Structure 1
Amino acid sequence: MTFQELQPKVTQITLNTSLSRDEKLLTICQLLSDSVSYYNWVGFYFANHESKTLHLGPYVGAETDHTVIPFGKGICGQVAESNANFVVPDVAAQDNYIACSFTVKSEIVVPLFVDGKNIGQIDIDSHVINPFTADDERFLEFVCAEIANLF
């Protein structure tokens, strides 16, 4: 399924009044995981600005021990500070990377803004080296913009 075909499905999930916010987020994770072959782990982290930590939210994929990540640590922690997308074509070449699994080869993290504030991010791991393109970034920015309406 193309990103263009996925967009209305994401919107439909966010507008579903019978689901809680976390159920909507989990459903979006499942949709992306099922629809994009190289999206092998899809999840959300949410910021606690007082403690400067990220906390794992709904996700689909292998279990992770990384339920709390300090700002600045790993790819997610760096995005919490930079407020910018971060695409890692090969995690083995990244110094400040928190290894989740030896199967993870690349990662993309896109921040989630609500009223101009970075409240969290969508994090996607892939078992493929360098699969992410500018199209992935634009699509995930769209996803985050849709999700921002839930807050």
Structure 2
Amino acid sequence: MFTSAPADIDVDYSLLARQITSILEGERNQTANAAQFSAFIYQSLADLNWAGFYWTVPAKKGDAEELLVGPFQGKVACARISFGKGVCGTAAAERRTIVVPDVHAFAGHIACDSASNAEIVIPVIKDGRVLGVFDIDSPSLNRFRPEDQLGLESLVAIFVAATDFT
């Protein structure tokens, strides 16, 4: 049975912005910052079962790009996702945040964790290049609201500004 998001999921994104700025201050390493950022989001937002990064890498076969799992919090995840496939690959290919209220209704959804019911994916873009995506899953339907999208996009922007990418 699917659950709906709890009513008490209000988040003070301005407070989270100040906190993540402080956490990332003085460190520029991509892996360290991504690990800290994933853990921070996973612990700070209610009703999540996965939060983490996928990085853009050359595909194993051919010249296309794909996403390779990076630092995350949650259950074991899919290792590679092709650009244009699933929610993560679509967000990367279209260079835009995608909010999915019910992943079971998203054509082509990749079910890495059968407990996930809602998802938001924010592309990580710097200097016009898609470096990857930040993916968050929830066991509840309709978990992510417009204010979550705006807040999470601002937090990802803080991460990008604080990080040197290799």
Confirm or deny a common fold (TM above 0.5).
yes
Q: How does 1:122-141 map to 2 (within 5 A)?
A: 122-141=134-153
**CA–CA distance in 1 between the matches of 2:79 and 2:57?**
13
Q: How many aligned positions are there?
A: 149
**CA–CA distance in 2 between the matches of 1:70 and 1:34?**
28
Find out whether 1:15 has 2:25 as its counterpart: yes
**CA–CA distance in 2 between the matches of 1:125 and 1:82?**
19
What's the TM-score, normalizing by structure 2? 0.83
CA displacement at 1:20 relative to structure 2: 3.8
Letter of the 1:33 partner, please give it.
Y
**CA–CA distance in 2 between the matches of 1:13 and 1:116?**
26
Which structure is larger by alpha-carbon Rg, 1 or 2?
2
Q: Higher relative CO (CA 8 A, sep ≥ 6), structure 1 or 2?
A: 2
CA contact (8 A) 1:109 1:122 kept: yes
Identity %: 32
For 1:69, the equivalent position in structure 2 comes to 81
- Backbone CA RMSD of aligned residues: 1.5
* Gap regions ≥5 residues in structure 2: 1-10
Find out whether 1:55 has 2:68 as its counterpart: yes
**Moved runs in structure 1, 4+ residues, more than 6 A?**
none
Letter of the 2:21 partner, please give it.
T
Letter of the 1:12 partner, please give it.
S
For 1:43, the equivalent position in structure 2 comes to 52
